[in-house]
Amino acid sequence: MVLIDLVDVTKSYHLPGGEKLDAVSEITASLSKGETIAVTGRSGSGKSTLIHLLAGIDNPSQGLIRFDGRDISSLRDSERTILRRDAIGLVFQFFHLLPHLSVLQNVLLPCWIAGERDGAGKRRAEGLLHRVGLRGREHQTVEKLSGGEMQRVAICRALVRCPRLLLADEPTGNLDDETGLLVMEQLMSLVAEEGSTLLYVTHSAELAALADRKWTLHSGRLEAP
């Protein structure tokens, strides 16, 4: 069953000189539920733009993106925000954890944003942290964690509200190879357990091989597999 459908999606930016730059160009593709897809490509090939489009952070300049059959490119910003809150999880290369919150609070943040009561969310957050090996570290500040641990916290945060789609933008880009592989394995395993769909950006062929399918972007265009 198709979760995401991209139809002729283009995202253009206007440069100061009046030129137009297509960060993503005429992409037509789809993701099925429960599938894992690795997106590869050189720097500047449009990988992050694609993630932003799928997350509803950006809107395509042309084409349409359907999420579970619903055209998200026609949604208002507030509707896309709600969609992101309720159905999409995001993992970033640089973790983006909040230094003034504890490990557990960082994971709970999406629950707070969604107005969930602490009870169920907290149990789930603690469960996820235990599963990624951070039992007993819940009340530490994130500054005391290693890079790998920080990314695991970020993954827990992304999964805490059981998103249907998990988007990860170079989740291991800031980690050494060994830690990166470990984190990626944990991510894949959690996604599989949760039954989510995963699309992740990576430069590593080894990590890309872990996915069910691979998309390669070249100058904003999706190369044929």
Residue 97 in contact with other proteins, rule: CB under 8 A: yes
Residue 114 in contact with other proteins, rule: CB under 8 A: yes
Binder to other proteins among 20, 76, 100, 139 (CB under 8 A)?
100
Residue 200 in contact with other proteins, rule: CB under 8 A: no
In the complex, least distance from residue 99 CB atom to other proteins, rounded to whole angstroms: 6
Binder to other proteins among 95, 129, 186, 200 (CB under 8 A)?
95
In the complex, least distance from residue 78 CB atom to other proteins, rounded to whole angstroms: 6
Total of chain residues touching other proteins, rule CB under 8 A: 35
| DSSP state letters, 119-139 | HHHHHHHHHHHHHTT-TT-TT
Give which of 40, 35, 42, 153 is closest to 91, Cα–Cα: 153
Q: Which is nearer to other proteins, 137 or 161 (CB)?
A: 161
Strands 20-32 and 197-201, sheet pairing: unpaired
| DSSP state letters, 29-75 | EEEETT-EEEEEE-TTSSHHHHHHHHHTSS--SEEEEEETTEEGGGS
Stretch that binds other proteins, among 10-18, 38-46, 79-87, 125-133 (CB under 8 A): 79-87
Binder to other proteins among 2, 13, 21, 86 (CB under 8 A)?
86
Break the chain down into helix, strand, coil percent, rounded to 5. 40, 30, 35
Within 44-63, the residues that bind other proteins by CB under 8 A are 52, 55, 57-58
Q: Which is nearer to other proteins, 122 or 213 (CB)?
A: 122
Token code pair at residue 93: 């290369």
Residue 93 in contact with other proteins, rule: CB under 8 A: yes
Burial code of 109-136, b = ≥16 C-beta within 10 A, e = fewer?
bbbeeeebeeeebbebbbebbebbebee
Q: Which is nearer to other proteins, 13 or 185 (CB)?
A: 13
Where do runs of H (alpha helix) occur along 22-167? 47-55, 77-87, 103-113, 118-131, 147-159
Length of the chain: 225
Enumerate binding residues for other proteins (CB under 8 A): 52, 55, 57-58, 77-78, 81-86, 88, 90, 92-101, 105, 109-110, 112-115, 117-118, 143, 157
